[in-house]
Amino acid sequence: PTSTIQVYRSDGSPATSVRVSLEFSSGFTQSVYTNSNGKATISHESTGSATIYVDGSSRDSFSAPGTRTVRLP
C-alpha cells in the first residue's frame, strides 16, 4: 500500500524537501522527501494506525493507507 502526506509550512506554502516517514507498530518506513508541491508518497507494508514524522518530529497520526495533511508550526 501507499500513503500520501501533504506538508505545509505555517504560512500556508508547501514544505518542499522535508523528510517524511511513518511509524507503525512494526517499525518505521523508509524516509521520503516532499516534492515541489510539498507532497510525499510513501510505500509501506503495514496498515492501520501510523504516526507521521516530519524531519524527525512526530506531527500527526492517521489510519494507513490514506492521505493526510500536516501543517508545520
The tens-digit pLDDT sequence of the chain (73 residues) is 999 999 999 999 999 999 999 999 999 999 999 999 999 999 999 999 999 999 999 999 999 999 999 999 9
pLDDT at residue 8, rounded to an integer: 98
pLDDT at residue 20, rounded to an integer: 98
In the structure grid, which three cell numbers stand for residue 72, read together? 508545520
In this structure, the dihedral spanned by the alpha carbons of residues 15, 16, 19 and 25, taken in order and rounded to 10 degrees, is 50
pLDDT at residue 32, rounded to an integer: 98
First to last CA, the chain: 29
Report the predicted TM-score, pTM, of the whole model to 2 decimal places. Answer: 0.96
Residue pair 34/40 in contact by the 8 Å Cβ criterion: yes
pLDDT at residue 46, rounded to an integer: 97
In the structure grid, which three cell numbers stand for residue 56, read together? 524527525
